[in-house]
Structure 1
Amino acid sequence: MICALLWIVSSLFLSTGMATPGITIRIWDIQVSPADLPQLDPGQAPNDIAVVPTLDLNSPADFLGHENTFYLLADADLAISEPGVYEFQLNSDDGSELWIAGTRVIDNGGLHAAKKVEGRIALDVGQHPIQIKFFQGTVDAVLQLFWKPPLQTDFVIVPETALKTNLPTSLPTSPGPKSIVREKSPRLPGHGSKLEGLHSGMDALHSALPELDGHVTGMAMSKDDSLLLLTDQGSLWRVTPPERSNVKASMKRIAEGLDDPGGLVVADDGIWIIQREELTRLRDLNADGVIDEYAAISTGWPVTGHDSGTARGLMPVGDDFLVMLTKTSEQASEHRGTLVRISRDGSWDLVGDGLLEPTGFSSGSGHGPAIIDQAASTGVLPMIPNVRDLSGQGVRLPAGASPRSAMWLESGPWKDQLLVVDGGGHGIRRVAFDQHDNGFQGAVFRVSQGLGDSIDHIMGGPEDQIWLVSHDDRGPRLSRLEMHRHLFQMESIEAYANGLLVRFSDSVEPLIASEPSAWFIMMESLNGANGRNAMDRVVVDRATVLADGRSVFIESDDLNDGSLLHLQLVGPWSSQAGRRLHSNEAWYTMNEVPLRNMVPASTPRMDGHNRLTPMQEAEGWTLLFDGESMDHWRGFGKDHFPEEWTIRDGQLIRTQPSGDIITREQFDDFELSLDWKVEPGGNSGVFFNVASDIGNAVYHTGPEMQLLDNQGHPDGGSPLTSAGSNYALHPPLWDVAAPADSWNRSRLVVRGDAVEHWLNGVLIVEYRLGTPEWRRRVEDSKFRSMPQYGSRQSGHIALQDHGEKVSFRNIRIRRLEMGDSE
């Protein structure tokens, strides 16, 4: 919200008054080094303000005397005289973002050394407000903004002539440190944030490519089983990967001097290359391993003036080839933004249009070829027979990602799905197409990270191998991946007029999957999806687990044409075998709501909540709440159960002020499991080792596992007081809390002085009672005035009345012996 207000204020100033060449920078001395771009607390004037000619800042003097721990905003209008697709590059140490007219074009966030990240956006003639957000931790601040307008080949600093600022340097400033909004615990990887590391079901062999020049635009397996890599710098390399990881690959340049080549095909009559303006056949005539003949087979599309673009992708179709011509401006000729079929005799014909900046093909599926388009309204789309205009088809990648390459999977559970890579640090993602009467749309799922900051190209190899080329701070590298184990995850999504059918890799736990509140779906317009336009909550009316046990139909009347749906599975999701989801997110591109309807036939329902399975009984679990009676509970400081806590629909609900409730029995070593949900802005807690005869509140003796609406309650602003925390003492490692009005499952495990907090299947807090570290934390907290706080080895369990509505179910406990394991 604060950043949004700063953008609005900046835009208001920039839209009025006399324009001055250059860009205005404002700097706040925050005196802390955050992990990522912070938000300023409201109402704070900057420490310093100035107008600089360009954003090329490298020294303390450039940053107005600031060296460490500061936050910077740079604002200007960007003057565009030629329409087209503009590329930008943001180099920063530490994190930064570039926003143009409210759209985030580059995300270069996080703590890191100087790093360049690229982005692109189509701009019309006129003035466009830009804002750069930047923070500096410690050591070597750098902030530079480069661009590459249409027709230019190299990045240069955005010049002063293209920057105008109306933001007055007479704005108020103030000395002294400035405060930022407190950091929150990060989301669990794959559950609201990027995955971390390589997919646990994959093995990888990595090889350095130190001689590689530029980015890979084409990749193929040669007839001697070596790899051919084509780069945008005009080189063709033959690469022999080593047999062990982290060893340099053997490389030989076999062709050079090609003009921005964009794809290759290995055929019996030579190696075919698509260059910017021609289809070329390469041959090694004397068998010395180096190309001798560069034969121009086909040309004819314009490459000068406004038609300067690239040719990308090359795919054999019978005896012909398909290639795509990129479009850099609206003034391009009819040959741009098109799909071209080229014959071996050199003739060519336009067979499709509606593309903008395609990067390649992927072939090998029953769906036929797929097209990868970086800048058009869709990211990837299958080619559709007899359909010339390809706009309005395919699948949009989320978060403004620009796909560079993709490969079809031809076997396994993901058969006929695509693996897609991009240059924005999003790793590998998976696209499952959904075909309906009028074309294709579908869903995107996370697969893996751990493969470099940027991935150029991906392709399939023999024996289901996956080959890719990536880049990180160590340079380019070649990776060979093999999948040996699949995880519990969503596999596909199909749209219907009355809802969505979601298929999983394993049978789901039906009591959770059939909860409408376990499906959190937001919808935004495709016209502004990457510009962060307004999002609406999709109301799920009903969720039905189908007879196969691994398909769920979620019914809703809120689906709209031309929308992007973001699905999150919230709460204690697991397979029936107890496996946790690899990722709880998916993005579905709804180009069109299909006409087809689904009438789901559900599987027979198992027994409901507040019951124990035979296995749980054998493991020693007992119920503290059976959905009907409160025999195990009483009010704190009372000998009866307060009537303001009510039982409704098998749930124990705090409805009116009444005070906390505690178990009648006391426990020492135990494992407690319970489901809970709070209303928007709600707060509650689970306390343990509570004494009923010391103090006048449960928190005078018992530590608390916090239950909270992280988004709606102020305590969610600090990890120390967020959901799952050991309140005010130990923050959770991850934020895995479900939204308000959705069910969560917490586990509290106490063995002697060792305590674990689990939330929705994830261990998020561990600590030991009574240790010097424990005592130090207590002494630094509000509990220092409570001498018995956390000092007991046994006691009651308490549920808190914090003043808001909270609901519980499935409350069960088992006593532990010290030798018990998970």
Structure 2
Amino acid sequence: MITLLLMTHMMTLSGPLATVEGAVDSTIPKAAREADYYQAVNIPVPSGIVLEVGGLAVGPGPGEVYASTRRGDIWKIEDAYGQSPRFTLFSDGLQEPLGLLWKDDWLHCVQRGELSRLRDEDGDGRADVLETLCDDWTISGNYHEYAFGPRIDKDGNFWLTLNRPFGDEPFGKMDWRGWAMRIGDDGKMVPMAGGLRSPAGLEIAPWGDVFYTDNQGEWCGTNKLCHIEEGDYFGHTWGVESAKLPGSRMEYPGKTPDGLTYVEAKKKIPDLKLPAIWFPYNKMGKSAAGMLWDTTGGDFGPFQDQLFVADQHHASVMRVDLEQVDGVWQGAAMRFREGLSCGALRLAWGDENVMLVGQTSRGWGSVGKKSEGLEYLRWTGEMPCEVLTCRSTRDGYKITFTLPMDRSTLEDVSSYRIENYTYKLHSP
């Protein structure tokens, strides 16, 4: 990693083909100062509702938001941006739905053991139809067998990611844990890529590519953002034996080397996919989660076409500037908004292009003061002074800013502090 302190800006420079990945360090921005540009507004939740947000989707009506909870509920929220939002229980009894998506008048969710869709057909405000679209993967009952998604690619296929289990496995080891799955209209599951650890974020880019975020731990040196293509192996060894099963699009990688840098490991495993972005551990969060591309056309500030990434532990949102070089994705990451009320897990664009942030903390830990909740970020119209882009060149980096900068300051080498470090592919 390369850490660079430049005035008051924090960024992370990262490249999968480089022998040294990149990062930039600075003092943590104060939430009060960030609030001058991006206000955090709490959506009040009625007493008795535990809104531990696992999934978030904007409904078809104005001011309408749907939030699924880790306890198995889906809440319909009307007048979500008003003083007194109205909450209606749309569905309950689901198994920890950690993602929501609207498609063709159906609300889709991924539960631990299936991809489902729901609809209110009689107009009473509650779902009265629930259909299973796919349940081709199995669960053992392990507490950490989360499933994330769904998202829809440019061809209309659903995507989801399956978490690896932790701790004891009293009911045996299940196949396909730590995999990314594609599900077609026929409901059949296609295992597209393996070696994932705790892939809490999944998103389809506006141009159609698939990306996911993973959480730090064994075989994953720090949180990362990865581009998924058919056959990719991301380095975690837990579910690689499933590559030997029928249907796998990933070849069995063989023995994964322990203790090498990722660049060295890739020389031994050609199909090992290196991240597009490393998020320096603790400097930029501890639990990378949901993502959101800026498609607001400037209504949310100067970051059009860039990617926002939630961090559950740090109760924050980060920003990513991606670039593609010779077909490979790399980029820079910057802090964006800290000081939220709770762990940020899900992001969505709301009415008037505010950023909805679904939050939860129970059991996972967060620096936020609350245990769960729902907020939105609104741009005040004031232009923040930030690093806008950072792109690699043959002899360094080209940095642009959101505002004009003092030339003499930028040319003064004392304005910069740089350090470098890296992460290893290792099982602690």
- Provide the TM-score with structure 2 as the length reference: 0.71
Query: Partner residue of 1:392?
Result: 274
Pair 1:478 & 2:360 matched = no
Query: Partner residue of 2:333?
Result: 444
Deviation of 1:206 after TM superposition, in Å, equals 2.3
Deviation of 1:364 after TM superposition, in Å, equals 4.8
Cα 1:379/1:462, change in 2 over 3 Å:
farther
Cα 1:199/1:440, change in 2 over 3 Å:
farther
Q: Kindly indicate whether the alpha-carbon contact (under 8 Å) linking 2:310 and 2:345 is maintained by their aligned counterparts in 1.
A: yes
Q: Kindly indicate whether the alpha-carbon contact (under 8 Å) linking 2:38 and 2:378 is maintained by their aligned counterparts in 1.
A: yes
**In structure 2, what is the Cα distance between the partners aligned to 1:367 and 1:377?**
28
Cα 1:326/1:475, change in 2 over 3 Å:
closer
Deviation of 1:229 after TM superposition, in Å, equals 0.1
Q: Kindly indicate whether the alpha-carbon contact (under 8 Å) linking 1:208 and 1:475 is maintained by their aligned counterparts in 2.
A: no
**In structure 2, what is the Cα distance between the partners aligned to 1:364 and 1:439?**
15
Query: Partner residue of 1:431?
Result: 320
Alignment counterpart, residue 320 of structure 1, candidates 157, 160, 173? 157
**In structure 1, what is the Cα distance between the partners aligned to 2:118 and 2:112?**
16
Amino acid paired to 2:374: L
- CA offsets, 1:519-564, max 9 Å, x none? 10111122299x9xxxxxxxxxxxxxxxxxxxxxxxxxxxxxxxxx
Deviation of 1:387 after TM superposition, in Å, equals 5.7
SS at match of 1:512: helix
SS at match of 1:511: helix
Cα 1:242/1:334, change in 2 over 3 Å:
closer
Deviation of 1:305 after TM superposition, in Å, equals 6.7
Q: Kindly indicate whether the alpha-carbon contact (under 8 Å) linking 2:53 and 2:374 is maintained by their aligned counterparts in 1.
A: no
Query: Partner residue of 2:4?
Result: none
Q: Kindly indicate whether the alpha-carbon contact (under 8 Å) linking 1:212 and 1:476 is maintained by their aligned counterparts in 2.
A: no
Q: Kindly indicate whether the alpha-carbon contact (under 8 Å) linking 2:342 and 2:359 is maintained by their aligned counterparts in 1.
A: yes
SS at match of 1:487: coil
SS at match of 2:118: strand
Deviation of 1:408 after TM superposition, in Å, equals 0.7
Gaps of 5+ in 1: 1-189, 532-822
Alignment counterpart, residue 402 of structure 1, candidates 259, 274, 287? 287
Q: Kindly indicate whether the alpha-carbon contact (under 8 Å) linking 1:370 and 1:380 is maintained by their aligned counterparts in 2.
A: no
SS at match of 1:525: coil
Deviation of 1:239 after TM superposition, in Å, equals 0.8
Amino acid paired to 2:276: G
**In structure 2, what is the Cα distance between the partners aligned to 1:430 and 1:241?**
28
Q: How does 1:570-589 map to 2 (within 5 A)?
A: none
Query: Partner residue of 1:300?
Result: 136
Cα 1:251/1:269, change in 2 over 3 Å:
closer
Query: Partner residue of 1:227?
Result: 65
Amino acid paired to 2:281: A
**In structure 2, what is the Cα distance between the partners aligned to 1:359 and 1:507?**
37
Query: Partner residue of 2:31?
Result: 196
Alignment counterpart, residue 266 of structure 1, candidates 102, 109, 112? 102
Q: How does 1:541-690 map to 2 (within 5 A)?
A: none
Query: Partner residue of 1:90?
Result: none
Cα 1:426/1:259, change in 2 over 3 Å:
closer
Structure possessing the higher radius of gyration over alpha carbons: 1
Pair 1:346 & 2:187 matched = yes
Deviation of 1:419 after TM superposition, in Å, equals 1.4
Amino acid paired to 1:396: W
- CA offsets, 1:164-188, max 9 Å, x none? xxxxxxxxxxxxxxxxxxxxxxxxx
Amino acid paired to 2:30: L
Q: Kindly indicate whether the alpha-carbon contact (under 8 Å) linking 1:342 and 1:348 is maintained by their aligned counterparts in 2.
A: yes
**In structure 2, what is the Cα distance between the partners aligned to 1:238 and 1:367?**
29
**In structure 1, what is the Cα distance between the partners aligned to 2:232 and 2:143?**
21
Amino acid paired to 2:405: V
Alignment counterpart, residue 346 of structure 2, candidates 442, 454, 457? 457
Gaps of 5+ in 2: 1-24, 235-272, 361-367
Q: Kindly indicate whether the alpha-carbon contact (under 8 Å) linking 1:361 and 1:372 is maintained by their aligned counterparts in 2.
A: yes
**In structure 1, what is the Cα distance between the partners aligned to 2:233 and 2:425?**
21
SS at match of 1:383: strand
Cα 1:517/1:438, change in 2 over 3 Å:
farther
Pair 1:520 & 2:402 matched = no
Alignment counterpart, residue 198 of structure 2, candidates 345, 352, 357? 357
Q: Kindly indicate whether the alpha-carbon contact (under 8 Å) linking 1:272 and 1:282 is maintained by their aligned counterparts in 2.
A: yes
Cα 1:475/1:337, change in 2 over 3 Å:
closer
Number of equivalenced pairs: 339
Cα 1:243/1:319, change in 2 over 3 Å:
closer
- Larger RCO (CA under 8 A, 6+ residues apart): 2
Pair 1:488 & 2:385 matched = yes
- Coordinate RMSD, CA, aligned: 2.9
Amino acid paired to 1:446: R
Deviation of 1:469 after TM superposition, in Å, equals 2.6
Cα 1:302/1:470, change in 2 over 3 Å:
closer
Cα 1:217/1:305, change in 2 over 3 Å:
closer
Pair 1:217 & 2:54 matched = yes
Alignment counterpart, residue 92 of structure 2, candidates 248, 256, 267? 256
Pair 1:421 & 2:310 matched = yes
Deviation of 1:342 after TM superposition, in Å, equals 1.1
Q: Kindly indicate whether the alpha-carbon contact (under 8 Å) linking 1:262 and 1:273 is maintained by their aligned counterparts in 2.
A: yes
**In structure 2, what is the Cα distance between the partners aligned to 1:274 and 1:322?**
10
Q: Kindly indicate whether the alpha-carbon contact (under 8 Å) linking 1:358 and 1:373 is maintained by their aligned counterparts in 2.
A: yes
Q: Kindly indicate whether the alpha-carbon contact (under 8 Å) linking 1:314 and 1:322 is maintained by their aligned counterparts in 2.
A: yes
Cα 1:306/1:255, change in 2 over 3 Å:
closer
**In structure 1, what is the Cα distance between the partners aligned to 2:189 and 2:126?**
29
SS at match of 1:513: helix
**In structure 2, what is the Cα distance between the partners aligned to 1:334 and 1:397?**
29
SS at match of 2:95: coil
- CA offsets, 1:193-217, max 9 Å, x none? 2422243122443221244435212
Deviation of 1:322 after TM superposition, in Å, equals 0.6
Deviation of 1:490 after TM superposition, in Å, equals 0.8
Cα 1:475/1:240, change in 2 over 3 Å:
farther
Q: How does 1:27-426 map to 2 (within 5 A)?
A: 191-197=26-32, 198-210=34-46, 211-213=48-50, 215-225=52-62, 226-244=64-82, 247-304=83-140, 309-317=145-153, 318-328=155-165, 334-366=175-207, 368-375=209-216, 376-377=220-221, 379-381=223-225, 383-386=227-230, 388-390=232-234, 391-400=273-282, 401-410=286-295, 411-412=297-298, 413-426=302-315
Cα 1:476/1:402, change in 2 over 3 Å:
closer
Deviation of 1:266 after TM superposition, in Å, equals 1.3
**In structure 1, what is the Cα distance between the partners aligned to 2:53 and 2:93?**
15
Cα 1:416/1:455, change in 2 over 3 Å:
same
Amino acid paired to 2:73: S
